[in-house]
Amino acid sequence: GLISFSEIPSFLLGLIILLAFAARLKIFPLAGAVTPFANYSGPLDAAWDIGYHAALPIITLSLTQLTGTFLLVRNTLVTVMTKDYIRTAKAKGIGERLVWTRHALRNALLPVVTRVGFMIGMLMGGSVLVENVFSYPGVGSLLREAVVARDYPLIQGIMLIMAVSILSVNYLVDIIYEHLDPRVASYEAA
């Protein structure tokens, strides 16, 4: 069930989710980032309304990306569990939970961290289409409007912000890698 979402384009999945949860069931709003002319009693009320309107676009973008990550974690764990160091840890009498957390999961997280870093760029690209489907005023919608209006300085500014964001996430992935696998830090120091 969950794996089938990875094959559906994000804009089509967004339309399906919008029709199901906003038009048919009327659980979520059809469009916008806030309720028009709302009078909020405080900042928590405003935050709740913004989150309520952002829920469907976030769910759409997440579903299209999470299935690949789920499969990667599963396949990596299956591979890691057959390694010699896992058998050695089990033979030493280390508890099953400790084998999973300290040995298996820690080594299985390395490709997952890399994929999450790449997903940030894909999410930014997908946001252009998803924000258009949900009429959500975000960076993706702003980029689309800038392209239509041929506002080159705005397009360059948005691309610069996206590039800096992706580079920052890649740097963060490198830092996380060093904590998960100390061999990476010693290799870079050499």
What is the token pair recorded at 83?
A: 């390694």
Query: CB within 8 A of 24, min separation 6: which ones?
Result: none
Mean pLDDT for the chain?
87
pLDDT at 15: 93
Give the range among 11-20, 44-53, 59-68, 151-160 with minimum mean pLDDT: 59-68
Distance between CA atoms of residues 57 and 10, nearest Å: 10
pLDDT at 186: 59
Q: In this model, does residue 12 exceed pLDDT 70?
A: yes
Name the residue with tokens 């979402």: 5
Phi and psi at residue 38, in whole multiples of 5°?
-75, 140
Q: In this model, does residue 190 exceed pLDDT 70?
A: no
Neighbour count for residue 163 (Cβ, 10 Å): 12
Neighbour count for residue 145 (Cβ, 10 Å): 13
Residue spans of the domains in the chain: they are 2-189
Residue 116 contacts residue 127 (beta carbons within 8 Å): no
Higher pLDDT, residue 25 or 128: 25
Higher pLDDT, residue 153 or 37: 153
**Sorting pLDDT into bands at 50, 70 and 90, what band is 177?**
confident
For 2-189, CATH gives 1.10.3720
Residue 90 contacts residue 20 (beta carbons within 8 Å): no
Most confident of 92-96, 137-141, 145-149: 145-149
> Cα dist. 46→30, 55, 157 in Å?
18, 14, 28
Question: How would you class 169 by CB atoms within 10 Å of its CB: exposed for 0-12, middle for 13-18, buried for 19 or more?
Answer: middle
Residue 184 contacts residue 177 (beta carbons within 8 Å): yes
pLDDT tens-place string over residues 98-119: 888 888 888 888 888 888 888 8
pLDDT at 147: 95
Q: In this model, does residue 160 exceed pLDDT 90?
A: yes
* Rounded mean pLDDT, 3-9: 77
